[in-house]
Structures are given as C-alpha cells and as structure tokens.
C-alpha cells in the first residue's frame, strides 16, 4: 500500500495531467452555450500552453513507457471517473460511444491507408454495409453478437469486389476506384427498395447473452451499455491494430507502402499483403458500422455518402497517417467539435472547416506523427 502511494507521488505530474485532461473533456462534453464554451476553450488553451511549456506531456510519455501497467490503471481510473460523472448524461455518453466507434472505423482505415498505403475513399460505404447487414439480420432474430461479426464479414466480402481494380491501380487512380464505389453505393441503396430505399431500416436495440442494451445500466443511462461495449471493441481492435504494426506483418506492409518495386525484388507478395490489409480493414469498419447502427436504431442511405467517407479519411489524416494513437483525439475533434459548435447554428460548418485548415497548417503531418516501429517493450534498449 505504502508502495503504491510512493509511486503515485512519483508520477504525480503525469497523473494530474491525465485527470485534468479527463475532467476537461467531461466539461467539454457538457457545455452547451457559447459563453461557457468560449471560456472553456480559453481555459483549455491556456492550460495546454502551460502544461506544454512545463514539458508535462513528455512526463506522461515517460510514464507510459516506464510503467505500462501503472499508466493503464491511471487511464482506466480517469475514464471511470468520467463515466461516473456522466452516468446520466445520455447525450454525452452517446457522443463518447460515437467517438469510440468512429475511432474503430479509423483503425481499419489506418491499416489500409497508414500501413499498406491503400487509399480508401469508400469507408462510409463499408461502414454502411455493416449497418445494413445487422439491420437485415436483427429483423430475422439472429443473435446480436453474431450479427455484429457478420457485419464485418459482409463489409469484407463486398470489398472483395473492388480488390481487382485496387490491386492494379495506385495512388490517385486507386482513390478514384473507391470514390466511384462510394458514390454509387449510396445511390444504389436509395434506388433499391429491398433494403428500405431512401427511408432506410429500423433496428432493434442490442441484446446479447441477456444483456439488454436498451435498459438502464445500474441506474445510469442506457447509453452506458453502448459506451462500455464500444470502448471494449475499440480497445480490442486498437490492440490488434498495434500488434499488427509491431509484427512481421506490419513490417511487410510498411515495406510495400514505401516502395513496391524494391519490396517485390525482396520477395514480398504485394497483392496478397494488399488484399489482407484491405479485407481486414473493411472487416473492422463493417464491425463498427454494425454496432453504430445498433446504437442509432435506424439507418438510411444518406448516412453513408461520399462526404461521410471524407470525414473518416479526415480523422485518419488529422490524427497523423498510420498512427492509431492519433486517431482517437482526431475522432474526438471531428465528431464532437461540429456538435459543440451547434450554438453558432448555420455558421458551424464554416468555422469547423476553418479550424481544420488551421490545425493542418500548424501541424502539417497531423496531430501526432507516426513513430518508429518497436516490436516489443524495451525495444532498442541495449
């Protein structure tokens, strides 16, 4: 016990930074009107500047490197605090779950774009495939947990239609293939009445192994169910994504992304690695699409337009291409910020666009640049 206290004292700065950030985000999720928002932004900006000048972020990174479990426990406790404060705030919880699911989608895109270098401008389409798969299956009384997985499989399957053109093209040409797919996907859904046409489909709420997501969770909001499950999915897929990166597979993807010709000259089978990245990425995207659809309870073609695919790509770029760590704050920014700007109503998209432009000018490589690969803990220490 004494040991724990000593350790906490040792890491005091890092721990406070983590908790202050958590509480800041909580308040951020709760503020509504422009005055509080502006004050909060000013406070946040000042605090950020202050923490950055004292190099406290480095402190946190050192903490994360040196005692992984302590760091994880700390993050977990911070998250728990946030969830306890927000236990009855339906909307804030809804936004947290959305951020978690959008992040999960973007891990899939990170595998495609950041690791294997495949530009996928049809992310929202595969997101939608997952959603539609689960919509059809839940009306058939299929077990929900299997439906979620099927959503992923369906997305991977539909994606296989594009594999041939994607393998043959590169760069902007490959981008066009997926753009074309994204555009035709939405129109196709609208025109075909078998899948609900433009009105879309209704979906029952999630229920697995007797865990009814539609009911209040220990006296809190029913959205807590979704938050917990989405966070679980996000953490698992994040871990998988990182493990992929820190393995021979990630190495192969990096090699072929950077230089196809030299990779081919060293025996790397470009096509099969690209297929793996594309399929796996789409699987993750479809999976979270299915979950998102369950949470929304209703999906329609206009949720999955080309514009939505661009939002997904924006998250990946803004976070720093190829860095799953960057995805989460970027998703938070892209998903929650427009929502927080509701008080300026019709001006919010304009301001949002300008803010993103500023971020990119200030940090041309995205928020966090991808770091060198470390295969396991203690990598590179002699």
Partner 1 sequence: MGNSLLNSQGLTVKFGGLTALSDLNFSLEKGELLGLIGPNGSGKTTCFNTITGIYRQAAGTTSLLGKDITGFTPQQIYKCGITRTFQRLRLAVALSVFDNLLIGDSSSLNTNLFFNLFQRSKLKQEIEKKINKVKKIISVFNPALVDKLYEPVSKLSMIDRRRIEVCRALISDPKVLLLDEPSAGMTQEETRDFMNDLHEIKTKSPDLGIILIEHEMNVIESVTDRCIVLSYGKKISEGSFKDVSRNPSVRTAYLGED
Partner 2 sequence: MLLGSLDQYLINGLVLGVIYAMVAVGFTLFFGVLNVIKFSHGDVLMAGAFAALIAYISLQNFVSISIWMMVVITTTFAFAAMALFGAIVARFLVLPLRGAPPLNTLLITLMLGLAVREAVRLFYPNGSNPKPFPKLLPDTDIFIFGLEIRHDSLIIIFGGLAAICFLHLLIKKTRLGLSIQAVAQDSETARLMGINFQKIVLGTFALGSGLAALAGVLNGLYYNEINFSMGLLLGVVGFSSAVVGGLGSILGAIIGGFLFALLQTIGAIWFEVPAYKDVFAFVVIIAVMAWRPTGLLAETKSDRV
Partner 3 sequence: MCNFGSIDNKARSAYADRDSPVKMTPFVGGENMLNRGFLIFSFCLLVVGCSSEDGSAVKIGFIGPLTGGVSANGIGGRNSVDLAIKLANADVTKQYKYQLVALDDECKPNIGIQVATKAAADSSILGAVAHYCSAVAVGTVDVFHKFAMPMIVWGAVLPKITYGNDYPEVHRVNGTMINQNDVAAKFMVDLGYKTWAIIHDTTDYGKGHDKYFTESLEKYGGIVLGRFGVTADQQDFNAELTKIKALEPDVIYFGGITPIGVRVRTQMDRLNIPAIFQGTSGIISDAYIEGAGTLAEGTLAFREGDSAERLPGGKMFLAEYDRNNYSSPPEAYGPFAFAAANLLIDAIESEGPDRKKITSYLNKVRNYNSVIGKITFDENGQNMVPLITRFVVQDGKWKIWEMSEYADNIRSLNRQNPK
Min dist. Cβ of residue 148 to partner 3 (A)? 18
3-state secondary structure of 245: helix
Q: Name residues contacting partner 1, limited to 222-241 (CB under 8 A).
A: 240
3-state secondary structure of 376: coil
CA 248 – CA 376 distance, rounded (Å): 12
Per residue in 17-41, is it b (16+ CB within 10 Å) or e — as a string? bbeebbeebbebbebeeeeebeebe
Min dist. Cβ of residue 130 to partner 2 (A)? 21
Q: Is 341 in the site for partner 2 (CB under 8 A)?
A: no
Q: Name residues contacting partner 3, limited to 178-197 (CB under 8 A).
A: 187, 190-191, 197
Using alpha carbons, select from 343, 233, 338 the residue that is nearest to residue 295.
233
Interface segment toward partner 1; rule CB under 8 A; list 12-20, 26-34, 243-251, 357-365: 243-251
Main-chain dihedrals φ then ψ at residue 209, nearest 5 degrees: 50, 40
Q: Name residues contacting partner 3, limited to 44-63 (CB under 8 A).
A: 47, 50-51, 54-56, 59
Q: Is 364 in the site for partner 2 (CB under 8 A)?
A: yes
3-state secondary structure of 101: helix
CA 150 – CA 46 distance, rounded (Å): 47
Angle at 161 between CA 156 and CA 167, to 5 degrees: 95
Q: Is 65 in the site for partner 3 (CB under 8 A)?
A: no
What's the full length of the chain, in residues? Answer: 382
- Note the Cα 185 to chain centre separation in Å: 22
The pattern of x and - marking residues 157 through 186 that bind partner 2 according to CB under 8 A reads -----x-xx--xxx-xx-xxx-xxx-xx--
Could you tell me what percentage of the chain is helix, strand and coil, using 3-state DSSP and rounding each to the nearest 5? 75, 0, 20
Main-chain dihedrals φ then ψ at residue 352, nearest 5 degrees: -60, -45
Contact between residue 326 and residue 285 where contact means Cβ atoms under 8 Å apart: no
Main-chain dihedrals φ then ψ at residue 375, nearest 5 degrees: -75, -35
How many residues in the shown chain lie near partner 1 by CB under 8 A? 29
Residues that bind partner 1 (CB under 8 A): 240, 243-244, 247-249, 251-252, 254-255, 258-259, 261-269, 276, 372-373, 375-376, 379-380, 382
> Which positions touch partner 3 (CB under 8 A)?
6, 9-10, 12-13, 16, 19-20, 23-24, 27, 30-33, 35-36, 39-40, 43, 47, 50-51, 54-56, 59, 81, 85, 89-91, 94-95, 98, 187, 190-191, 197-200, 202, 221, 296-300, 302-303, 339, 342, 345-346, 348-349
Summarize as ranges the residues that interact with partner 2 (CB under 8 A): 113, 119, 162, 164-165, 168-170, 172-173, 175-177, 179-181, 183-184, 187-188, 190-191, 261, 306, 310, 313-314, 317-318, 321, 346-347, 349-350, 352-354, 356-357, 360-361, 364-366
């Amino acid at each position: 016990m004494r040991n724990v206290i000593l350790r906490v004292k040792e890491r005091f700065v890092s721990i406070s930074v983590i908790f202050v950030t958590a509480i800041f985000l909580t308040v951020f999720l709760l503020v509504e009107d422009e005055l509080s928002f502006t004050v909060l932004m000013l406070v946040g900006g000042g605090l950020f500047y202050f923490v950055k000048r004292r190099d406290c972020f480095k402190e946190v990174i050192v903490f994360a490197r040196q005692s992984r479990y302590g760091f994880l426990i700390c993050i977990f406790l911070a998250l728990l605090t946030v969830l306890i404060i927000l236990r009855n705030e339906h909307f804030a919880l809804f936004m947290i779950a959305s951020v978690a699911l959008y992040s999960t989608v973007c891990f899939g895109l990170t595998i495609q774009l950041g690791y294997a270098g495949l530009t996928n401008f049809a992310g929202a389409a595969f997101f939608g495939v997952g959603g539609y798969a689960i919509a059809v299956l839940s009306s058939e009384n299929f077990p929900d947990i299997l439906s979620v997985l099927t959503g992923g499989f369906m997305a991977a399957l539909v994606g296989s239609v594009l594999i041939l053109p994607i393998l043959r093209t590169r760069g902007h040409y490959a981008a066009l293939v997926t753009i074309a797919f994204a555009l035709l996907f939405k129109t196709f859904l609208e025109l075909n009445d078998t899948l609900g046409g433009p009105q879309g489909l209704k979906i029952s709420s999630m229920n697995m192994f007797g865990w009814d997501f539609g009911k209040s969770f220990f006296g809190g909001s029913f959205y807590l169910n979704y938050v917990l499950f989405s966070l679980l999915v996000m953490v698992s897929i994040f871990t998988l994504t990182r493990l992929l990166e820190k393995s021979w597979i990630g190495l192969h993807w990096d090699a072929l992304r950077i230089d196809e010709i030299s990779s081919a000259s060293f025996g790397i089978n470009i096509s099969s690695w690209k297929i793996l990245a594309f399929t796996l990425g789409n699987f993750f995207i479809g999976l979270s699409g299915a979950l998102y659809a369950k949470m929304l309870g209703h999906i329609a073609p206009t949720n999955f337009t080309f514009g939505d695919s661009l939002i997904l790509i924006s998250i990946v770029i803004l976070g720093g291409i190829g860095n799953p760590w960057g995805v989460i704050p970027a998703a938070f920014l892209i998903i929650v910020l427009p929502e927080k700007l509701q008080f300026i109503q019709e001006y919010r998209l304009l301001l949002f666009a300008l803010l993103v432009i500023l971020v990119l000018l200030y940090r041309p490589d995205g928020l966090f640049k991808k770091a060198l690969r470390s295969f396991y803990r203690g990598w590179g220490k002699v």
